Amino acid sequence: MWIPLQKTHYYFNTRSHSNVSNHPLVSVLIVSDYRGGAQKSWDDMRRCLAGLAHQDFSGVVEFMLLEARECLEAMPQDLATILPGLCLIPCDLDGSYEMKNLAAHLAHADLLMCIDADNIPVSSWITAGVNAMASHPQAIAISGRTSYPPRTILERVLGLLSRSYTDAGTEGPVTLLATNNMIIRREQLLNDPLPEGLGPFAYRLLTEKWHRQGKQLFFCPDMRVVHDFEGWPMERDVRRGVGWTEIRLRQLDDSFRGGRVVRALGALSIPPLYLYRVTDRLTRALPLLRHFGLSWWDAPLVIGLTLYVHALEIPGMVRALRGLDAGHSAYR
């Protein structure tokens, strides 16, 4: 069943109809984790769709883009022509996790690949994801490598610090998942949807649950995307949200490392949590220098920026401890 959007020529399909002639091997879910509608958002989406249009995968793929109804109504018409077969789905949701959960219900393939709309995939992205799932049948989900544009050393370092939490360096098991660049079994996401109502960094509630259940996550370095970098305003926004989430998750579940400390000490728990975050990040990041175009000569800069960017998380921690939300954010 096809339902037209008002004031546009775009359409979306319900679960009862497939927009491909054969059953797809994989459904690609495209969702913006930031609030869409601005020219910058459309430009990001153009690059993402162009990357998806030039994939080398030979199987049948279903491409689905979910966005708020009012944003799709204002969408530049050329975007719908970039990726053949693209299915545009308007919704009345705001959170990126809510949109991905909805997309999982509407998708037709047993494998789902999720990509945020400000990521540009390499041409072998789908092939790498499908092959990785075939190589690791025990995996319920696999993350790929995400980097920032390699224009400056600052961008390379910040990309390392932002993305090393899910990057194992080489293909293998991991404990965390990057929801901006992943392949997951549809049945798993239907049974355990992404946590809603806690912002775009609360994926750890789900990965912690899977870890306790003995379910396996993997990392595939060949599933590569380049994430847009918008400078320090973006970094401050992200870090405040991460800091808020780090406290909020421990308030909800004190079995997280440091959860009982947060509950017992309140604001006094911020210094030890900050030191833990810095130590954990450096432990993960320093072995990955060459994978992000860096060398050991850059280690002092990595260490200095690690201390600084994690300090940017403290305002978010304070807000969470005061019972406030994370504050205004461009991310959803």
Residue 198 is part of a domain; what is its CATH number?
Answer: 3.90.550.10
* DSSP β-ladder status, 139-147 and 87-91: unpaired
- Asked if 112 and 247 sit in the same domain, the reply is no
Is this prediction's pTM over 0.85? yes
Place of tokens 């600052």: 154
pLDDT at 114 over 90: yes
- Asked if 185 and 327 sit in the same domain, the reply is no
CA distance to 205, 232, 266, per residue, from 317 (Å): 17, 19, 10
| Residue % of the chain over a pLDDT of 70 | 92
List the one residue out of 110, 36, 39, 108 whose CA is nearest residue 66. Answer: 36
- Asked if 63 and 192 sit in the same domain, the reply is yes
Dihedral of the CA atoms 38, 199, 205, 250 (nearest 10)?
A: 140
- Asked if 219 and 239 sit in the same domain, the reply is no
Which among 163, 197, 229 is the end of a domain? 229
Q: What tens digit of pLDDT does each residue of 270-321 get?
A: 999 999 999 999 999 999 999 999 999 999 999 999 999 999 999 999 999 9
Instruction: Enumerate residues 6+ apart whose C-beta is below 8 A from 248.
Output: 198, 202, 320
Determine the pLDDT at residue 35. Answer: 60
- Asked if 210 and 256 sit in the same domain, the reply is no
DSSP secondary structure letters along 131-190: HHHHH-TTEEEEEEEEE--TTSHHHHHHHHHHHTTS--SSSEEES---TTEEEEEHHHHH
Q: What tens digit of pLDDT does each residue of 3-28 get?
A: 333 322 233 333 333 344 578 999 99
Q: What tens digit of pLDDT does each residue of 190-211 get?
A: 999 998 888 778 888 888 889 8
Instruction: Enumerate residues 6+ apart whose C-beta is below 8 A from 58.
Output: none
Per-residue confidence at 38, pLDDT binned at 50, 70, 90? low
Structural contact between residues 10 and 72, judged by C-beta atoms closer than 8 angstroms: yes
- Asked if 145 and 163 sit in the same domain, the reply is yes
- Asked if 216 and 244 sit in the same domain, the reply is no
Dihedral of the CA atoms 225, 230, 233, 235 (nearest 10)?
A: 20
Assigned token pair, 17: 């109809």
Which among 229, 244, 276 is the end of a domain? 229
Number of separate domains in the chain? 2
pLDDT at 168 over 70: yes
Query: Alpha-carbon distance 272 to 259, whole Å?
Result: 12
Q: What tens digit of pLDDT does each residue of 44-77 get?
A: 899 999 999 999 999 999 999 998 888 888 888 8
Which among 194, 229, 264 is the end of a domain? 229
- Asked if 43 and 112 sit in the same domain, the reply is yes
Range of the domain at 285: 232-332
Determine the pLDDT at residue 1. Answer: 27
3-class SS string, 256-283: CCCHHHHHHHHHHHHHHHHHHHHHHHHH
CA distance to 155, 203, 204, 243, 260, per residue, from 249 (Å): 29, 10, 8, 10, 11
